[in-house]
Structure 1
């Protein structure tokens, strides 16, 4: 099916139309949650208990290669080919927009490369150009899980966006309660007890042509600077820059945050980029209690690299 070329002005209506269709045909399978809050470290964390998370994990296991000692089969790539019923449209000549099949948050969008590119490849100008179409479409949070240790569930390169606010209570992005304390030129955010790099952005709410390209370049330059500041090491694979350190990226029209990662889970609770925005997901009440006991901010510190490894701290 030929996909429609999306613009910032047409994106949200296209998402709504495709959502109605995907729900009707069963392609979209929303996951119900129960929302609670835990206040920790100056942030009101949104904790969503995902009662049917097992459904998504079962699908992931079905897509995984056979176990060791058994005949190996390639892992199925849900993005090649993608499900037409989930396709919102084209963001560019290089990226398409898909609905997240197992969405916890409404209007959860996947920004996927048309051809296979590894998730560990660094983001480039085309990635940010596609992302900015989504960010301009409506106020939203863009995020990227750089590798399995950072919460990536698919090896095919994809960014994601979710609408703001993430929670009706408090800041649009819960972690924003701490961001105002960061220096005007960025760097470290007081109160975040793990390695990270932060900068403020001024991306136009709408743009076309040359301005859009300039904004994508501005975002790309900020991203590269943050990778360096957070000591995200890189390498080349077949001439393409790749990460050597797993990391999470958060982007809004107003700011960007990079967090280097060490591991995906703490005491069985998986964390991706949304955790560093202040939005965490647990399987059941037992995991929610685990988070309450550890403290969400401490849990984030345990899956991220220690603050002392932040390059800006070492100078």
Structure 2
């Protein structure tokens, strides 16, 4: 088994954050710092519904595997010719625009296999995409060793100040929505990296998973690996990578046992698709089997399985609450006892 490459990345968190804020002011990146948050607890499991009205125009992928066309003409026109990076609007085969979203800070290099760019529709300050340089790579593919190594490297670099307990440093996590059933909104393969919300009571439940497990309040199936912070970076990545592969195999078996046939783009062999969400921090890895992206207007990506639900209006919140949020997550995945 090939191990993730130990890239040493020089990402300047504060410089990147300043650039992110400027893109928001320019209207290129869509983020509402004053968005409404509704907090509820169901059977001991915490939910936070974050309402981003600017996400109403966010594109979606249909069950046919076709993505709606994300027009970037308006976005590109807001970036002056002098400041516009000399890169293609789209990489060949891609449905994610690059123009205006590239990181201009010289520290934004994340290795030979990926671009690090600002997400257009942000759910955090800041919010990045790790986009494969090959625009023909697809979101229904599980992560490969380069994807995983890059994600680990970016998280190590961005969390450096947080781990050193520097003032104002943020904690970052990464996530990946594998496949249409996993809640992806674009087909070009990409991972996401974003800051954990800074408000009180915005922690991540896997940090204290045993508390929730003891209370038996997590209704959906998941696989978790605790990362040993005492070992060196290379060993952390190697062990987490092996666990990810193990969890994907476990997910394949669990979905097969449940009789789930994945949604697949035209011409793609469904047996090669293992729909799942991955959430990765410096402390743990979480993998969640998925069976559908949404039900009756309640949709979820990986963040939803942290109890962090992103919606465009309160009507979407109502669709979640009417169906019961724990029940929604279970029906979009698998029951915990399956």
The alignment's C-alpha RMSD in Å is 3.3
Give the match for residue 26 of structure 1. 27
TM-score normalised by the chain length of structure 2: 0.71
Matched, 1:266 2:283: no
CA deviations 1:95-145 (Å, max 9, x no partner) are 121111111211111111111321122212211221122212122121110
CA deviations 1:50-98 (Å, max 9, x no partner) are 223222249963349xxxxxxxxxx97344x622543362211111211
Matched, 1:250 2:257: no
Matched, 1:141 2:142: no
Give the match for residue 170 of structure 1. 201
Query: Is the CA contact (8 Å cut-off) linking 2:69 and 2:95 kept in structure 1?
Result: no
Q: Matches of 2:325 and 2:198 in 1, distance apart?
A: 16
Q: How far apart are residue 277 of structure 1 and its match?
A: 0.9
CA deviations 1:223-252 (Å, max 9, x no partner) are 012122333579xxxxxxx85231111111
Query: Is the CA contact (8 Å cut-off) linking 2:248 and 2:274 kept in structure 1?
Result: no
* Equivalent position SS for 2:121: coil
Query: Normalized per residue, which structure has more strand?
Result: 1
* Equivalent position SS for 1:96: strand
Q: How far apart are residue 174 of structure 1 and its match?
A: 4.0
Give the match for residue 222 of structure 1. 243
Q: Matches of 2:28 and 2:93 in 1, distance apart?
A: 17
Give the match for residue 198 of structure 1. 224
Q: Matches of 1:7 and 1:33 in 2, distance apart?
A: 35
* Equivalent position SS for 1:86: coil
Q: Matches of 1:151 and 1:141 in 2, distance apart?
A: 18
Q: How far apart are residue 146 of structure 1 and its match?
A: 0.3
Matched, 1:153 2:185: yes
Stretches of structure 2 lacking an aligned partner (at least 5 in a row): 1-6, 62-66, 72-91, 160-170, 257-270
Stretches of structure 1 lacking an aligned partner (at least 5 in a row): 1-5, 65-74, 184-188, 235-241, 310-315
